[in-house]
Amino acid sequence: MQAGASHLWLHASPIQTLVTQADRRILVEGRGCRVTDAQGHTYLDALSGQWLVNVGHGRAEIAEAMARQAKALAYGNASRAATLPAIQLAAVLAHLTPGDLSTVFFSSGGSEAVESALKIARQYHALRGEPERYKVIARRGSYHGATYGAMSASGSRSGVDSYFGPLLSGTLSVSAPYCYRCDYRKTYPECDVYCVDAIEDLLRYESPNTVAAVIAEPVSAACGIVVPPAEYLPRLREICDRHGVLLILDEVITGFGRTGKMFASEHWDVVPDIMTLAKGLSSGYAPIAATVCRQPIADIFGGANGKAIGHLLTFGGQPVACAAALANLDILQRENLVRNAEQQGAYLLSRLHDLASRHPSVGDVRGLGLLCALELVTDRRTQQPFPVDGPEIHYLLEKLAELGVLTRAEGNLYLAPPLCIERHEIDELTGIVDTALSHFEE
């Protein structure tokens, strides 16, 4: 094969597409909120890579911690012995996560963390003598991962069933609390958050003692940064408790400060039974994820001498990845980046509202902390969306890149920069978005 003509499988929305290197910018370096490509062009990274570089690019402390651990011990015998970084990281996660979330199962990415959560939920019920509780309820439009279990519980069927079906049986979906396009044609607050009561209706219809878990993101990124009404998550917690169903909150994107609190569920004081974590756990410096369970779940498994989770992953808790996560969490806390996300996020949202008042293509502005989106419409009155992968959206993304911003857009333009972003960088970012939207609307 000729030099430069090699093909890469790269991620492209909505499905994997074979593309050549020439189709993509090749990024070679990053510092803080900026990345540089092979041609020397520098961009503001408005998506933190893929919603994950929370502490910013180019953190030498993390690289050094990884090198130290790789030199000391790159791998331990996962089934017979633990390693120090894994023990330390589990302790840090037990401390950081709310309530009695305390027992940690490590894996290498968000899909595996979700897969583990689904299996733990089913095995938990089976160990309690209720093996018929196997169904999982997810929300429509959500995304929980690419493996079969996670994909089946993702509540997004378009472009999936036709290629990969039939999916895992017993996965059901309900509408998300997406007020801008409410599936029930209701309006908040008159609706009294009907969409969460719809979950209880579905549970009753299915017979609650057949349902293992409800899975949801506290703020759904894939749905378009859907921040639920205040009542939604507390009421979902009550519904799950009433019917003995486990609540899995997927904080793969929202965890580690992204929404201005360490975990998004803390905005509503809701403690899930199982929390899934990945991305910001290492800020992308190493592939690592965690599934954190509440004490009563761990008790059913009976700890180290009891029933093992029927699931072992070679790279779960790999010590170099744990060392990266520890160094990353140290920076996150030492530099008060969660507080910075809260403050800069509020400022970013105010700038985005200002843009919306001047740009007719912006139908809605949503966000919490540094997890924001502009929903783009061809007509505000009809709320007609742009085709997800259409030429208009491609044009907008190219215009943004030309002006120095890399991000992602489908029906929404996503803005989720690293948590170390400063006010002047938000001014620069929103200034560029302003100019790009003016071109887009010409």
- Does residue 277 sit in helix, strand or coil? strand
* CA of residue 132 relative to chain centroid, distance: 30
Q: Which stretch binds ligand PMP (CB under 6 A): 170-178, 246-254, 344-352, 366-374?
A: 246-254
Nearer to ligand PMP, 252 or 426 (CB): 252
Distance CA 119, CA 122 (A): 5
Q: Which stretch binds ligand PMP (CB under 6 A): 106-114, 302-310, 339-347, 408-416?
A: 106-114
Minimum Å distance from CB 276 to ligand PMP?
7
Binding mask 379-418 for ligand PMP (x = CB under 6 A): ----------------------------------------
- Residues 139-178 contacting ligand PMP, CB under 6 A: 143-146
Distance CA 296, CA 293 (A): 8
Nearer to ligand PMP, 30 or 255 (CB): 255
Minimum Å distance from CB 366 to ligand PMP?
16
Only one residue has tokens 């009542």, namely 231
Structure tokens, 56:
């910013």
Q: Where does 316-364 have alpha helices with state H?
A: 319-334, 337-358
Applying CB under 6 A, what is the total number of residues that bind ligand PMP? 14
CB 300 within 8 A of CB 290: no
Minimum Å distance from CB 167 to ligand PMP?
16
Only one residue has tokens 């170099």, namely 320
Minimum Å distance from CB 96 to ligand PMP?
18
Q: Which stretch binds ligand PMP (CB under 6 A): 79-87, 104-112, 197-205, 360-368?
A: 104-112
Q: Which stretch binds ligand PMP (CB under 6 A): 70-78, 105-113, 161-169, 363-371?
A: 105-113
Question: Pairing mode, if any, of strands 246-250 and 274-277?
Answer: parallel
- Choice from 33, 53, 101, 114 touching ligand PMP (CB under 6 A): 114
Nearer to ligand PMP, 32 or 110 (CB): 110
Q: Where does 37-154 have alpha helices with state H?
A: 48-51, 60-72, 84-96, 110-127, 148-152
Residue 369 binding ligand PMP, by CB under 6 A:
no
Minimum Å distance from CB 228 to ligand PMP?
15
Nearer to ligand PMP, 138 or 432 (CB): 138
Nearer to ligand PMP, 123 or 156 (CB): 156
CB 171 within 8 A of CB 147: no
Q: What are phi and psi of 274, to 5 degrees?
A: -135, 135
* CA of residue 224 relative to chain centroid, distance: 12
- Residues 249-288 contacting ligand PMP, CB under 6 A: 250, 252-253, 278
Only one residue has tokens 């259409």, namely 390
Only one residue has tokens 């072992």, namely 312
Q: How many residues does the chain have?
A: 442
The CA distances from residue 399 to 7, 84, 288, 352, 413, in Å, are: 26, 47, 34, 18, 13
- Choice from 45, 200, 217, 364 touching ligand PMP (CB under 6 A): 217
Q: Which stretch binds ligand PMP (CB under 6 A): 12-20, 73-81, 234-242, 247-255?
A: 247-255
Other beta carbons less than 10 A from residue 297's beta carbon: 21
- Does residue 50 sit in helix, strand or coil? helix
| Interacting residues toward ligand PMP by CB under 6 A | 109-111, 114, 143-146, 217, 221, 250, 252-253, 278
